[in-house]
Amino acid sequence: MSDTSGSIVPLTPNLPAVPVGAVTPGVVEPFPLHLRDLRDQVQRFLLEYEFGLREVETKISILRDEFQEMHEYNPIEHVTSRVKSIDSVLDKIRRKGLTLDLATIRAEITDIAGLRVTCSFAGDVYRLFVLLTRQDDIRVISVKDYIAEPKENGYKSLHAIVEVPVFLSSGRIEVTVEVQFRTIAMDFWASLEHKIFYKYREQVPAGLREELKDAATTAAALDAQMERLHRELHGGQSSG
């Protein structure tokens, strides 16, 4: 029977079990204990981000449900979330030239937990952003408004890095979460841009870069047109 208590590790059927942490001279461990410790540490580390995400997801879903109830209007089209994979955390550590300790990673990599809130209209993007960030247990670390100032390639979204408290059995911790707010048109552009241009990374050919920017302008025009139509039909109770 396999051991699930965590305190005893059976090595092979013929050898006696030893407590975790004990080093038995001459015994070859099936899985080195320091690797097991490291794995547990990384798992716990990522779990904190999973919990942070859940807290922010709950906040967003409460806002959505309350909005629906109070205003008979749902400003959110969809919400997606992810905790970065270990590979992609390691990639970023390498790119940023960080040291491999958890405190540094915690402080320097602010998008390990990421939530994307896709709203119906630009007005909803800012409204949701304000409703989330003004909550008194949320600490805003930084905001990048790529809607007011789109990136060179045409990318638009409103990014907020926030800290949210999570209550563990060992006490309260603050977890950093990146929240991206955008409209469906912005999301459409960003998703496909990522798919089409991912392999080029920084060196997208100039002609394609221009076309990409044109597509972003088209998406923005569509956003504006749909929002105007919505306002004309629904007036004050809408996204404005």
The answer to whether residue 178 is catalytic is yes
Task: Give the contact letters, 180-219, x = binds to Mg ion (CB under 5 A), - = no.
Answer: ----------------------------------------
- When CB distances are held under 5 to 8 angstroms depending on the partner's kind, the choice from ligand GTP, Mg ion, none that residue 153 binds is ligand GTP
Closer CB to ligand GTP, 75 or 114, in the complex: 114
Evaluated on CA atoms 40, 31, 16, 18, the torsion sign reads negative
DSSP labels for 184-200?
HHHHHHHHHHHHHHGGG
Task: Give the contact letters, 111-140, x = binds to Mg ion (CB under 5 A), - = no.
Answer: x-----------------------------
Our finding on whether 159 is near ligand GTP (CB under 6 A) is yes
Our finding on whether 111 is near ligand GTP (CB under 6 A) is yes
Our finding on whether 145 is near ligand GTP (CB under 6 A) is no
Could you say which of 39, 78, 94, 194 contacts ligand GTP (CB under 6 A)? 194
What CA–CA distance (Å, rounded) separates 74 from 204?
37
Closer CB to ligand GTP, 59 or 159, in the complex: 159
What CA–CA distance (Å, rounded) separates 100 from 90?
9
Report the SS3 class of residue 157: coil
- When CB distances are held under 5 to 8 angstroms depending on the partner's kind, the choice from ligand GTP, Mg ion, none that residue 129 binds is none
Exposed / middle / buried, residue 36 (Cβ in 10 Å: 0-12, 13-18, 19+): middle
- When CB distances are held under 5 to 8 angstroms depending on the partner's kind, the choice from Mg ion, ligand GTP, none that residue 163 binds is none
Our finding on whether 48 is near Mg ion (CB under 5 A) is no
Q: Which residues are within 8 A (CB) of 145 and not within 5 positions of it... i.e. 6 or more apart?
A: 158, 159
The active-site residue, picked from 55, 178, 193, 232, is 178
What CA–CA distance (Å, rounded) separates 212 from 188?
12
237 DSSP assignment: G
- Catalytic residue numbers read 178
